[in-house]
């Protein structure tokens, strides 16, 4: 397990650390004797880094546990995702580009179908298509409530997210989804007296939203779940003494980065080159850079072997632009595995490459792939230990004890 | 993590266990394709033991954490150095050959420079040279206090250690170093009423010591830090049912061994052969033998690749003298890594060799080196697990559960 009081050892210097995450990078061979997309990909740059660095494999949460992207990223950032749960509402909101600050309350919303007595007949409104749901969600932004503002965005199909902002709000609310059909949606109930005002506001909001759906057949009602606020996670500046920048195309990853105190860098485009160009632009302003590549995961979830392989090759081709900046420590890894064969996130260990010319113990592995990583000199370790390793290799940690 | 109630499984027999620690043994290749000093050294004996035994690599504290020698040895002895912190004063005192027993109070002293108003102008007395500081420290041994004795020894440059012995002493004292210049040194303040008497005595001692420095320009004052007593660590006899002997040239390592209940064996000389001769002399009197080789670390800190390599070769040449005693379990490892390239302790895993002809699972590694160890059958494990492994291979542990 990682060292508890790492921040007491932090000893700042001018080194630059880059954490390049290819989402869902890890995979499994489609058949005995086969190669994973990472192993099959032509990656001369990553292979060179592997030869000059050290490999290992990470366990995102615990053996056998398949993580969501939120917890998997938190672990790589050094924040225990089991000890620090980030509410669903907050993740959902960040995922569609809304921010949730301390004291603001986010919730995840589901469209549902009710009959004339208001009893739920379908908890997911017949899995209404996104094109139909999107304009319905837009209607909710007309809703006015006293003393607070609300922002609503569509997520996918029957799902949306809502954020309420104002004074004296509390996320200590029970959700309104009864988790079964044949009963009415529940009222928002406060878990304690301090949350009563917020419960009243959300009940008013639900009532007005329901009215706006009165012309609908399928999506004629809604439930709210996962009320939550910014969980107040440990911040990069405090944990590591690092000024940290996040470079990611997708909002959800920017969101998790913000929650641990990273600055989100704005940029145009969405290719690896675009991301590395953004990195270059802010290179002198930060010590730590999180760069996120999404599409490895997307192709994994689609079951598209070649697609995933080509994304990896694209990152490799752009890599010299990053290397030209001469980082002191470069980690290339995934947040979790998304095997093409499984078409979903999985629990498999994740390939991890550590390159740090001044301080790394070079191992005997000369290519970047799952089997190489299982045989690498860093061994198998929990994702929570990635940041301590990065800090050590950047020579940013003092000795423990005399 | 190691098994918590190991002592409940202890089942004594007549086996002999040797833990041979080459301080700072672990290293990193100076360049891609290069070898570490251990890998480059000609070590036919260790290589044979590797072929007949099993290899692994240890993490001294946690990944990325660089340990001091004290914590690193404690971990190998099976005492968690994070849970059991040994006060600075105690380590410093043991480091210069003074013992600190339960109830005695040790502190680390710094010479400093004060102006005519007694205000600190330099917290380290211009980093006064050891030759100048040594005789000043000697002066302090003239100091007499009522009911207690004090012993003072020079450490290095501006640093010294003091031990106070007597009845009713307490280490619960605030240090006198204000951690900045422009203010006067602090008084020793008791953290609780029971420590008031000790605070008074140390304040008297400081006053008398200060007078003895009145003719000095640079080192004309002092501060005391890290007040501590023997922390009452778990003892080898209780933890493992082992009679344990420590064979070490340097006082600090004898000190840590004493703190866990080992007997320190006196001997002449400081070569590996001298140490193995001492081991042979007491072979029948003990079950466990800790043998410490210092100079691998010293050459690592000096950045002297050949020096470190030759020390390892010297140990290998002397090894048959140890093997002639026919130990049942022999572990050869380091307490931490001290890479020549970094000239300092580091966080890198440490090569670990386990030889136990009656019980070891022989792996496929046939030489002793960092890469061999990363690929060894024991895997990567925390140093705290070394003693349970040793006990098991000595067949000194009963089965857990039916």
Report the pLDDT value the prediction gives residue B107, as an integer from 0 to 100: 96
The dihedral through the CA atoms of A254, A255, A261, A264 has a sign that is positive
ipTM of the complex: 0.89
State mean pLDDT over B344-349: 98
Tokens of B8: 């409940």
Give the single-character DSSP code of B185: P
The answer, yes or no, to whether residue B87 has pLDDT greater than 90, is no
Write out chain B residues lying below 8 Å of A379, CB-based.
57, 349, 374, 379-380
Taking only the tens place, the pLDDT of each residue in A359-384 is 999 999 999 999 999 999 999 999 99
Give the confidence band of A2 by pLDDT, cuts at 50, 70, 90: confident
In whole angstroms, what is the distance from residue B335 CA to residue B350 CA? Answer: 7
Task: Quote the pTM value.
Answer: 0.91
Taking only the tens place, the pLDDT of each residue in A70-91 is 999 999 999 999 999 898 899 8
- The alpha-carbon gap from A354 to the nearest alpha carbon of chain B, in Å, equals 12
Write out chain B residues lying below 8 Å of A1, CB-based.
1, 62
Candidates B255, B314, B327; CA nearest to B94 is: B255
Q: Which of B32, B64, B379 sits opposite A391 (nearest CB)?
A: B64
Q: Which of A6, A51, A361 sits opposite B370 (nearest CB)?
A: A361
Give the single-character DSSP code of B3: -
The answer, yes or no, to whether residue A402 has pLDDT greater than 80, is no
Taking only the tens place, the pLDDT of each residue in A255-308 is 999 999 999 999 999 999 999 999 999 999 999 999 999 999 999 999 999 999
Nearby residues of A284 by Cβ (< 8 Å), 6 or more positions away? none
- Residue to mutate among B65, B82, B156, B250, with most A CBs inside 10 A, is B65
Burial B353-380 (b: 16+ CB within 10 A, else e): bbbbeeebeebebebbbbbbbbbbebbb
Report the pLDDT value the prediction gives residue A359, as an integer from 0 to 100: 98
Candidates A222, A74, A120, A220; CA nearest to A162 is: A222
State mean pLDDT over B6-31: 97
In whole angstroms, what is the distance from residue A358 CA to residue B50 CA? Answer: 30
Taking only the tens place, the pLDDT of each residue in B228-287 is 999 999 999 999 999 999 999 988 899 999 999 999 999 999 999 999 999 999 999 999
Q: Which of A1, A387, A402 sits opposite B68 (nearest CB)?
A: A402
Tokens of A61: 């949460």
Report the pLDDT value the prediction gives residue A111, as an integer from 0 to 100: 97
- Residue to mutate among B339, B372, B374, with most A CBs inside 10 A, is B374
Report the pLDDT value the prediction gives residue A95, as an integer from 0 to 100: 85
Q: Which of A377, A379, A400 sits opposite B66 (nearest CB)?
A: A400
Angle CA A277–A279–A285, to nearest 5: 135
The mean pLDDT of chain B is 96
In whole angstroms, what is the distance from residue B264 CA to residue B273 CA? Answer: 17
Asked if residue A341 lies in contact with residue A28, where contact means CB atoms within 8 angstroms, the answer is yes
CA B76 to chain centre: 10
Write out chain B residues lying below 8 Å of A373, CB-based.
none
Report the pLDDT value the prediction gives residue B154, as an integer from 0 to 100: 96
Cβ–Cβ below 8 Å for A379 and B81: no
Q: Which residues pair with B120 in a beta bridge?
A: B114
Residues of A with CB under 8 A from a CB of B: 1-4, 6, 9, 51-52, 358-364, 375-377, 379-381, 385, 387-393, 395, 397-402
B216: helix, coil or strand? coil
- The alpha-carbon gap from A18 to the nearest alpha carbon of chain B, in Å, equals 16
Residue whose token pair is 């922390």: B231
Cβ–Cβ below 8 Å for B64 and A3: yes
Q: Which of A51, A392, A400 sits opposite B71 (nearest CB)?
A: A400
- The alpha-carbon gap from A45 to the nearest alpha carbon of chain B, in Å, equals 15
Tokens of A256: 């998790």
In whole angstroms, what is the distance from residue A370 CA to residue A382 CA? Answer: 16
* Cα–Cα distances in angstroms (integers) from residue B147 to residues A75, B99, B143, B192, B198, in the given order: 56, 19, 12, 21, 11
Q: List the strands of the sheet with B17-22, edge to edge.
A: B263-264, B244-248, B288-293, B17-22, B329-333, B350-355, B54-59, B379-382
In whole angstroms, what is the distance from residue B323 CA to residue A191 CA? Answer: 70
In whole angstroms, what is the distance from residue B38 CA to residue B56 CA? Answer: 14
Long-range contacts of B82-85 (CB under 8 A, 24+ apart): B82/A3, B82/A4, B84/B231, B84/B233, B84/B234, B85/A401, B85/B231
In whole angstroms, what is the distance from residue A365 CA to residue B232 CA? Answer: 45
Cβ–Cβ below 8 Å for A385 and B63: yes
Write out chain A residues lying below 8 Å of B342, CB-based.
359, 395
Cβ–Cβ below 8 Å for B347 and A3: no
Tokens of A185: 């949606």
Nearby residues of A183 by Cβ (< 8 Å), 6 or more positions away? A119, A120
Cβ–Cβ below 8 Å for A375 and B375: yes
Residue whose token pair is 């995979």: A27
Report the pLDDT value the prediction gives residue A88, as an integer from 0 to 100: 86
Cβ–Cβ below 8 Å for B347 and A9: no
Asked if residue A360 lies in contact with residue A336, where contact means CB atoms within 8 angstroms, the answer is no
Report the pLDDT value the prediction gives residue B103, as an integer from 0 to 100: 93
Helices A251-259/A69-76 angle, 10° precision: 40
Report the pLDDT value the prediction gives residue A36, as an integer from 0 to 100: 98
Nearest C-alpha in B relative to A392: B64
What's the burial of A4, exposed, middle or buried (CB within 10 Å: 0-12/13-18/19+)? Answer: exposed
* Cα–Cα distances in angstroms (integers) from residue B66 to residues A360, A400, B2, in the given order: 14, 6, 20
Nearest C-alpha in A relative to B347: A392
The answer, yes or no, to whether residue A1 has pLDDT greater than 80, is no
Residues of B with CB under 8 A from a CB of A: 1, 26-29, 32, 34, 57, 61-71, 81-82, 85-86, 88, 91-92, 95, 337, 339, 341-342, 344-349, 370-371, 374-375, 379-380
- The alpha-carbon gap from A379 to the nearest alpha carbon of chain B, in Å, equals 6
Asked if residue A78 lies in contact with residue A392, where contact means CB atoms within 8 angstroms, the answer is no
Burial B243-271 (b: 16+ CB within 10 A, else e): bbbbbbbbbbbbbbbbbbbbbbbebeeee
Cβ–Cβ below 8 Å for A3 and B62: yes
Taking only the tens place, the pLDDT of each residue in A206-262 is 999 999 999 999 999 999 999 999 999 999 999 999 999 999 998 889 999 999 999
In whole angstroms, what is the distance from residue A172 CA to residue A192 CA? Answer: 7
In whole angstroms, what is the distance from residue B83 CA to residue B64 CA? Answer: 18
Tokens of A272: 């690896």
Q: Kindly report the backbone phi and psi dihedral angles of residue B85, in degrees, each rounded to the nearest multiple of 5, phi listed first.
A: -85, 130
Write out chain A residues lying below 8 Å of B346, CB-based.
359, 392
Taking only the tens place, the pLDDT of each residue in B191-200 is 999 999 999 9
Tokens of A314: 């694209």
Tally of helices (H runs) and strands (E runs) in chain B: 13, 15
Q: Which residues pair with B112 in a beta bridge?
A: B221
Taking only the tens place, the pLDDT of each residue in B284-311 is 999 999 999 999 999 999 999 999 999 9
Cβ–Cβ below 8 Å for A51 and B32: yes
- Residue to mutate among A362, A382, A383, A393, with most B CBs inside 10 A, is A362
Nearest C-alpha in B relative to A398: B66
């Amino acid at each position: 397990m990682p060292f508890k009081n790492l921040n007491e050892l932090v000893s700042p210097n001018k080194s630059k650390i880059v954490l390049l995450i290819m989402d869902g990078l890890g995979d499994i061979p489609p058949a005995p004797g086969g190669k994973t997309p990472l192993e099959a990909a032509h990656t001369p740059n990553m292979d060179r880094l592997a030869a000059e660095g050290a490999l290992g494999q990470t366990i995102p949460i615990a053996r056998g546990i398949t993580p969501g992207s939120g917890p998997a990223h938190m672990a790589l950032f050094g924040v225990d995702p089991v000890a620090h749960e980030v509410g669903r509402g907050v993740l959902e909101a960040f995922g569609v580009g809304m921010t949730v600050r301390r004291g603001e309350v986010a919730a995840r919303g589901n469209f549902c179908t009710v009959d004339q007595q208001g009893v739920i007949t379908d908890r997911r409104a017949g899995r209404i298509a996104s094109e139909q749901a999107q304009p319905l969600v837009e209607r909710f932004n007309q809703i006015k409530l006293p003393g607070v503002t609300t922002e609503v965005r569509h997520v996918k199909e029957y799902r949306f997210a809502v954020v309420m902002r104002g004074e004296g709000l509390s996320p200590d609310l029970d959700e309104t989804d009864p988790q079964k059909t044949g009963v009415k949606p529940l009222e928002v109930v406060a878990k304690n007296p301090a949350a009563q005002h917020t419960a009243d506001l959300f009940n008013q909001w639900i009532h007005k939203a329901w009215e706006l759906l009165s012309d609908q057949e399928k999506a004629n009602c809604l439930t709210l779940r996962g009320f939550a606020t910014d969980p107040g996670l440990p911040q990069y500046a405090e944990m590591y003494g690092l000024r940290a920048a996040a470079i990611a195309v997708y909002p959800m990853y920017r969101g998790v980065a913000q929650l641990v105190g990273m600055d989100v860098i704005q940029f145009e485009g969405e290719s690896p080159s675009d991301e590395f160009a953004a990195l270059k632009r802010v290179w002198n302003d930060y010590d730590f850079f999180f760069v996120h590549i999404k599409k490895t995961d997307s192709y994994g979830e689609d079951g598209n072997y070649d697609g995933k392989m080509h994304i990896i090759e694209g990152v490799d081709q752009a890599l010299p632009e990053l290397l030209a900046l001469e980082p002191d420590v470069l980690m290339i890894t995934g947040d979790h595995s998304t095997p093409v064969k499984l078409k979903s996130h999985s629990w498999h260990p994740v390939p991890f490459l550590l390159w740090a010319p001044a301080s790394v113990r070079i191992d005997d592995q000369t290519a970047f792939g799952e089997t190489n990583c299982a045989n690498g000199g860093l061994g198998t370790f929990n994702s929570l230990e990635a940041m301590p390793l990065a800090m050590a290799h950047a020579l940013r940690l003092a000795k423990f004890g005399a």
